[in-house]
Chains A and B, each alone.
Chain A
Amino acid sequence: MENQLIFDLTMMVAKILVIIACTLGLAPFIVWFERRGAAWMQRRVGPNRVGPFGLLQSLADVMKFAFKETFIPKNANKFYYFMAPILALIAPMCALAVIPFGSKIIVNGQEVVLQVAQMDTGVIFVLAFAGLEVYPIILAGWASRNKYSVLGALRGSSQIVSYEISMGLALLSMLIVYGSFNPHDMVSWQNGTLFGFLPRWGALVNPFGALVFWIATFAETNRLPFDLPEGESELVAGYHVEYGGMRFASFFMAEYVAMIMASALLVTMFFGGYNMFPGMGILVEVIGNKMSFGEIGLQNTKAFFEFASFFVKVSFFMFVMVWIRWTLPRFRFDQLMDLGWKILFPLSLINLVLVTIGVYYFNS
């Protein structure tokens, strides 16, 4: 009994550590990649002085931030001013808890599901914390008592309201298809093939829902072309204009963690989650037969490949975020509202109705 408790605790801590290592640990690398990638797209070189290929540039930046003075603007609401960056970092990290990053591994003869929190209402949990992501923007903008920050906060809140609806409708259409709130069930639904050769990914079953959700993730993470709360050219830096040092760094880091979270959610919902790429299943069997792993080893090898495919998929969508950033200019605010309310909202509503009819037709 006690051994079981210790085993569960160790496994839980290990899974949490994997999540933290893959988000906070990789965030500096993603920042580096964003800067290098941006430079390559603009025929520049980018940071290449600190460490090999400039890889340590982000660490140097963090060092600089850590040694900076803590500055609190006069008249700022201190409690909310300090709470905002913490909340910004916590919200996307919590949402990652229910994203499955592999089916299961077998340790000590026991099955360990590769997901931190196995919840039946996983998608609701993710949506709750994704919705929480706008609170730090509003809090930071309001608490620092600066006109630019308040404008950024206003933009952030109205943008999120106009996008969460079409995002929610896109998710709802997928929930109807999967018939479950549990991310694990969703991923296992996507295991299989369409017409015998296409992977049965949500994006291929419901392409329009995937497109709407994809567009909404850009707005959700305040990335270009929807980075209106920041809007450097109009609002100086938007909601974090009064933040410096480590507090700014946590906002900056939170943006990248939110990017990882949004990409992971997108992959889980629409791009097969941890399901392996077509053809990788054969590879796993070949390796298993060559090494004569037995059933346990085969399952663990499979889990490793599943984690690798999940990682590759998420990385691809992170790359697309960087790619889009340097392709599209920022939307004007009314254009964004038009897109959110007049185009995406009705279209996703129609899509939801069509998907419902389709699911009813196929299931009966």
Chain B
Amino acid sequence: MGTINISKKYTAKQKSYLPAILIGMKITLKRFIQGFFFRQHDTIMYPEQRRKYSDRFRGMHFISVDPNKTENCTACYLCETVCPAECIHIVADEREEELNPYGVKKEKKPVSFDIDALRCCFCGFCEEACPKDAIKLSGNYELAVSSREEAIYDLDHLKRNMNGRQEKL
């Protein structure tokens, strides 16, 4: 037992500190020249250039629609139940049969389908739970809004024309 002394003796060169400063200054000068003369930088000039995120990136929600622009959602409440942030609020109703081209396939419809994006944690559980592949998360990461009301996505917003993450454009 006993303490181990890990402190080491510095040489006079290390103690004077100046050679180390010069080495550091050499590195920063190299970077400066690279940036100033050769325009080397790792910055993505954002509004003009956009970062390509991976296909698994989960962004703004949407609800997939069939060719008649009818939402695939059957208001089964699975997503609302599984949602850990409790940000999905669905009001269900019966679907009129004449508006439903697939007969008995979609008996229910959501009257309103609100997602509170301010509460959402983008875990993707709703997407996994959905039996109809209706609710999906897109690759869109530009979620900024100018008011809190706009951050609550309603059915009209969610039914916008979107491509899923795995589907290519």
Contacts and interface: CB of A to CB of B under 8 A. Distances in A.
B41 A44 contact: yes
B32 A40 contact: yes
Given A323-B28, A327-B24, A327-B28, A44 B36 contact: no
B35 interface: yes
Contacts of A39: 35, 41
B166 interface: no
B144 interface: no
Interface in A158-192: none
Interface residues of B, number: 16
B4 interface: no
Given A327-B21, A327-B25, A328-B21, A40 B31 contact: yes
Interface string A69-85: 00000000000000000
A328 B23 CA distance: 11
B24 A45 contact: no
Interface string B69-96: 0000000000000000000000000000
Contacts of B42: 43-44
Interface in B1-55: 21, 24-25, 27-29, 31-32, 34-36, 40-43, 45
B33 to A, nearest CB: 8
B24 A43 contact: no
Interface string B90-124: 00000000000000000000000000000000000
Contacts of B21: 324, 327-328
B25 A323 contact: yes
B12 to A, nearest CB: 13
A60 interface: no
Nearest to B22: A327
Contact of B34 (A37, A43, A326, A327): A43
Interface residues of A, number: 13
**Looking at B24, B31, B32, B45, which has the most chain A CB atoms within 10 Å of its CB?**
B32
A327 B25 CA distance: 6
A43 B28 contact: no
By secondary structure, the B interface counts as helix
Contacts of B35: 39-41, 43-44
A42 interface: yes
B41 A43 contact: yes
Contacts of A323: 25, 28-29, 32
B32 A37 contact: yes
B31 A41 contact: yes
A40 B34 CA distance: 7
Given A327-B24, A328-B24, A44 B43 contact: yes
Contacts of B29: 323
Contacts of A37: 32, 36
B25 A324 contact: yes
A43 B31 contact: yes
Contacts of B28: 41, 323, 326-327
Nearest to B25: A327
Given A323-B25, A327-B24, A43 B32 contact: no
A45 B43 contact: yes
Contacts of A327: 21, 24-25, 27-28
Nearest to A48: B45
A356 to B, nearest CB: 24
B1 to A, nearest CB: 31
A146 to B, nearest CB: 33
Interface string A317-355: 000000110111000000000000000000000000000
Interface in A105-136: none
A42 B31 CA distance: 7
Nearest to B27: A327
A331 to B, nearest CB: 10
Interface of B: 21, 24-25, 27-29, 31-32, 34-36, 40-43, 45
14 contacts: A40-B31, A40-B35, A41-B31, A41-B32, A42-B31, A43-B31, A43-B35, A43-B42, A44-B35, A44-B41, A44-B42, A326-B28, A327-B24, A328-B24
Nearest 9 pairs of A and B residues by beta carbon: A40-B35, A327-B24, A45-B43, A327-B28, A41-B31, A41-B28, A43-B42, A41-B32, A327-B25
Interface of A: 37, 39-45, 323-324, 326-328
